[in-house]
Structure 1
Amino acid sequence: MTLSFTAPTRPVRIDHYSAVHLAAEIARSVATECRLPGAIPDQAAVVASELASNIDKHASDGVLYIQPMPLGGGLEILAVDHGPGMPELQMCLTDGYSTAKTLGAGLGAVKRIATAFMIDTRPGIGTLVCARLALPGSAQAARQDVGLVCLPAENEQQCGDAAAIMDTGDVRTGAIVDGLGHGPEAAEAAQTALRSFRTAVERPLPDIVTAMHRALRHTRGAAVGLVRLHAERAEYCGIGNVRMVALSPNAVHHRLTGQPGVVGWRMPAPHTHRLPLPREAATVMHSDGIDLRWAHTPADFLLRLPMPMLAAAVAHRHRHVRDDAAVLAARLQPRNP
């Protein structure tokens, strides 16, 4: 069984050069929390500093998302911006390459340091980068095509939305929990539900929701969505306003939402939707902190992104800043087994 980390995402908005230093310090701190040994926390700080510096110099509306990797085993740093993109990507990935007109300074070093490195750049749209630094011997985890972002509402210190994903044998099961309201009580409900999820993860999806319902009886309750991925099919079970989208590189195939109710309070008998999916399909679940319209006519480039960058792009471009938001994206068959 592969366990997930459920620590919240640490967002760093790059709106001033001072944010570069802040991003480096947060990356070093999260790397230490992930128990990355030796010089890896300092390397994480270098990666965050270079990515933040590029955004500060060359782009706008940029942010770094710093967090443990979704399936554990290391640290993940995601960078998202609106900017000019990089017309000469391969040159930008060369150590020491820099220009005042395009991104690129330090990206060669970021690629060299990272255990896994992904980048997508679109002229006139912007750039997305995912750099993962893994524990020694955990390179496989760094290559998993899974993305997860959990962001607190504006001016909130704690996030009432939470997400987790776990592998058991050949099956991958993910959860999104939206604790009712905001703040510490919503965060407590969300984390309580995830503890129950981890304990019951190998059971049928309705049984997992029922276990969460019992665990949440003395909290304010939550909306819950569960997805289970098998080869070429998926299952979805949800209560409340958590949505699931199934998509492939060419189209959106399914859009589902949970049954009316509140887990922990008044909950109907949960039922499971079973969906056949193309081989290259993926699923995205999200709370109502994400505008559901993103999946009605998504941009073509979104459909083709690796899962870490898809989760970051949806969160960055389509979240309601006054609400907590969580996005979980996972492919049926990881691209890099």
Structure 2
Amino acid sequence: MSVFADAAVTAHVVVDHPSAVHHAASLARDAARASGLDATAVERAAVLTTELAGNLLRHAVDGAVYVQRLPQNGGLDVVAVDRGPGMASPDRAMTDGYSTTGTLGSGMGAARRLADELALRTLPGVGTLICARFRAPDAAPARADLGLVCLPLRGEEACGDSAAVADAPGGRTAVVVDGLGHGVEAAEASAAAVRVFHEGPERPLPELLGAMDRALRGGRGAAVGLLRLRPGTAEHCGIGNVRLLLVGHDGVGPRAAGQPGVVGWNMPRPLPRSLSMPETSAAVLHSDGIAARWPDTATPFLLGLPPRLLAAALGHGHRSVRDDATALVTGAVRRNT
């Protein structure tokens, strides 16, 4: 199975050796092609990934690159994360010719030109996160920013988790699915649930869960978390161990867990819950491969990250080594979108 057979699956490269730089660039090139980018954008993605991974190798501690196809509208995110010293002068680092090591210093200035969008956050003593986004030609604008990591259990190629997002006049709807266990059978269960999602993502959330329950009967079964965002509100409906949290600069807000049960086995009647969601907040929907206690130690720096960086930070710093791990983070849907 190709690592990109499921568009939700994230390629993850630990950058601890020069060969990792070339590997990350190769994965970015493959993902860019699969995302529908044109030949020029494919090469831009590969060149920029080489630069980001090379910077990690030279400067960072615990650095990694995450290559993630966008779950809607086509495109690609390349995210570099580290626990290094941080950048004392991030604005200067984005200027061509700036260097702290005597090199030409063209890397970060080039990054700003090569990517369609660039997000950077850094904190001295904590680390740096950089997301380079490449958009497919003619991609429709999304209703809100979005970040995703969907990581297989270490040593596995198939991922038992999956995720999807759909924007419609009724709002943004997102799903995270955790097929029971891991490996190929879990991946088949999560893929079946996502297919049902795409058949009618605008349907009422309990109806979507009922359709998934019927589709998964006789198979592995899954935990499913559904989220629908409208201006000012977040509606949640879930079965099993997929969690929802609303977060912002001022801390972690309301949380919601799925009802006990398994979609496809013994699913109870789904009960949706509506939460108030300020425009400045973000919703985090994650499987149990992301540690449940991550909010207990969350810093203002972490909670203030934009969705595309927060998802990578959760995958990098709070991932279980014993399970697939998925974190989907979406900004609030605003009234004028």
Same fold by TM-score greater than 0.5: yes
Bigger mean CA offset, 319-328 vs 288-297: 288-297
Aligned twin of 2:8: 7
Residue correspondence of structure 1 range 206-225 to structure 2 within 5 A: 206-225=206-225
What amino acid sits opposite 2:77 in the alignment?
E
Aligned twin of 2:47: 46
Q: Distance in 2 between matches of 1:324 and 1:241?
A: 13
Question: Helix, strand or coil: the match of 1:50?
Answer: helix
User: Is structure 2 residue 129 aligned with structure 1 residue 124?
Assistant: no
Tell whether the 8 Å contact from 2:178 to 2:224 is kept in structure 1 after alignment. Answer: yes
Deviations 1:101-148 (A, max 9, x none): 99x65111111111111000110100001101112333735x941111
Aligned twin of 1:37: 38
User: Is structure 2 residue 247 aligned with structure 1 residue 250?
Assistant: no
Aligned twin of 1:152: 152
Tell whether the 8 Å contact from 2:144 to 2:332 is kept in structure 1 after alignment. Answer: no
Q: Distance in 2 between matches of 1:113 and 1:183?
A: 36
**Structure 1 residues 7, 283: closer, same or farther in 2, change over 3 A?**
closer
Structure 1: tracts of 5 or more residues without a match: none
Deviations 1:17-48 (A, max 9, x none): 11111111111111111121131111110111
Using the size of structure 1 for normalisation, the TM-score is 0.94
Q: Distance in 2 between matches of 1:276 and 1:125?
A: 32
**Structure 1 residues 215, 237: closer, same or farther in 2, change over 3 A?**
same
What amino acid sits opposite 2:212 in the alignment?
M
Q: Distance in 2 between matches of 1:217 and 1:139?
A: 36
User: Is structure 2 residue 293 aligned with structure 1 residue 325?
Assistant: no
Q: Distance in 2 between matches of 1:119 and 1:336?
A: 26
Aligned twin of 2:189: 189
Deviations 1:174-226 (A, max 9, x none): 10000001100000001110000111211110100111001111320000000
Tell whether the 8 Å contact from 1:69 to 1:132 is kept in structure 2 after alignment. Answer: no
Tell whether the 8 Å contact from 2:170 to 2:202 is kept in structure 1 after alignment. Answer: no
- Deviation of 1:303 after TM superposition, in Å, equals 1.5
Question: Helix, strand or coil: the match of 1:261?
Answer: coil
Question: Helix, strand or coil: the match of 1:268?
Answer: coil
Tell whether the 8 Å contact from 2:14 to 2:20 is kept in structure 1 after alignment. Answer: yes
Q: Distance in 2 between matches of 1:33 and 1:263?
A: 30
**Structure 1 residues 69, 336: closer, same or farther in 2, change over 3 A?**
farther
Aligned twin of 2:91: 90
Tell whether the 8 Å contact from 1:54 to 1:105 is kept in structure 2 after alignment. Answer: no
Tell whether the 8 Å contact from 1:144 to 1:335 is kept in structure 2 after alignment. Answer: no
- Deviation of 1:323 after TM superposition, in Å, equals 0.7
Aligned twin of 1:111: 112
Q: Distance in 2 between matches of 1:14 and 1:272?
A: 42
Structure 2: tracts of 5 or more residues without a match: 1-5
**Structure 1 residues 336, 85: closer, same or farther in 2, change over 3 A?**
farther
- Deviation of 1:253 after TM superposition, in Å, equals 1.4
What amino acid sits opposite 1:184 in the alignment?
V
- Deviation of 1:13 after TM superposition, in Å, equals 1.0
**Structure 1 residues 101, 184: closer, same or farther in 2, change over 3 A?**
farther
Q: Share of identical aligned residues, percent?
A: 51
- Deviation of 1:73 after TM superposition, in Å, equals 2.1
Q: Distance in 1 between matches of 2:336 and 2:16?
A: 35
Tell whether the 8 Å contact from 1:50 to 1:105 is kept in structure 2 after alignment. Answer: no
Question: Helix, strand or coil: the match of 1:296?
Answer: helix
Bigger mean CA offset, 216-225 vs 289-298: 289-298
Q: CA RMSD in A?
A: 1.9
Question: Helix, strand or coil: the match of 1:100?
Answer: coil
What amino acid sits opposite 1:293 in the alignment?
R
